Amino acid sequence: MNESMTYENSIGGGAESGPSTGDRRRRAAALALGILCALLIGCASSTATPTAKVSPSASHSASLTPTPTTKPTPTPTAKPTAKPTTAKPTAKPTAGTTPIARVTFNNMELDALGDPNHHSRTFTFQTDGKGPVSVEVVKSKGGATRLCLSADGGTASCHYGKTPGFPLATATTAHSTWTVQVISAGNATTPIVDVAMSWPTYNPKITLTHGRLQGSTTTGVPDELNGFSVTFKPLGAGNLAVSAHWTTIITDIDVMLANVSSSPSVNLNEKQYKGVGKISPAYTHAVDQSKTYRFSLRNLDADNYRPDLTADISFP
């Protein structure tokens, strides 16, 4: 009994007077366990891969640096095209600006269709470049006329009437040869006409064929069957040139050049050829573009046979 009491008192007395060896051991164990846990947790924390954090300065720097964008490729500015240069004019004007020559054959009597030896008075000229061609009977007395026009040997187109004409024909090639034929439209009538012609050319020249050269001193033979008379205006300064030949006869010929720019006309030059069958070399005389001229060729002898006349007339 006393022994038991002693044992309990010793236990109780130890609690009051200081920790017992068991308490110290438990505390030491708990402390060691805490230290161990602290160490274990600290090690785990120090060995864990840290989460990357953007420092304030780095974040600020990133926000200020603009994200580079692709620069747009500049559209190249088209270079201005070179101004077109104006071609220098050639020695001769271009097509469509060719000078226009004008002639009128005056007071020419035509053959009647019923005449067994009838011929059309025929005129031939050449065009240079494109341009208007006009052929017209501008004056007539004594009956209707048949006027025909063709180019480069093509089929002739014919008009009939008191004053027939082709006022709106057109040359469309570099060079074309035009043929004009004029004759009475009746079997018995012999109209007396003025035939006016114009065409684009640099060198005006016209040929008359099947003209008449009957002498004018014989009674009853009209002057209108004796040679020809032509009015023209030069395109520039230079020389008129006229050559002629005829059939059947040798005769005396008179040629005359007059200025008909105003009325009355003024005779500029007259020349006679004795006992000839042609005018060769050609008759020439100076002319200029400021005046209008008339040239005539006449047979001075009595009527003899029926000469068929061909003449070439050229002017500047």
Window from 91-95, 110-114, 135-139, 264-268 with minimum mean pLDDT: 91-95
CATH number of the domain at 253, please: 2.60.120.380
> pLDDT tens digits, residue range 87-105?
333 334 444 489 999 999 9
CATH number of the domain at 174, please: 2.60.120
Domain boundary among 187, 202, 217: 202
> pLDDT tens digits, residue range 283-298?
999 999 999 999 999 9
Domain boundary among 202, 237, 259: 202
Indicate if 161 and 216 belong to the same structural domain: no
pTM above threshold 0.85: no
- pLDDT of 31: 59
Domain boundary among 202, 219, 246: 202
- Is 225 part of a structural domain of the chain? yes
- pLDDT of 42: 47
Domain total of the chain:
2
Residue that is written with structure tokens 């024909």 in the block? 169
Q: Which residue has the higher pLDDT, 85 or 34?
A: 34
Residue that is written with structure tokens 């020695």 in the block? 91
Indicate if 256 and 155 belong to the same structural domain: no
- Is 109 part of a structural domain of the chain? yes
Domain span including residue 147: 91-202
- Is 68 part of a structural domain of the chain? no
> pLDDT tens digits, residue range 10-37?
333 333 444 555 555 666 555 555 555 4
- Is 163 part of a structural domain of the chain? yes
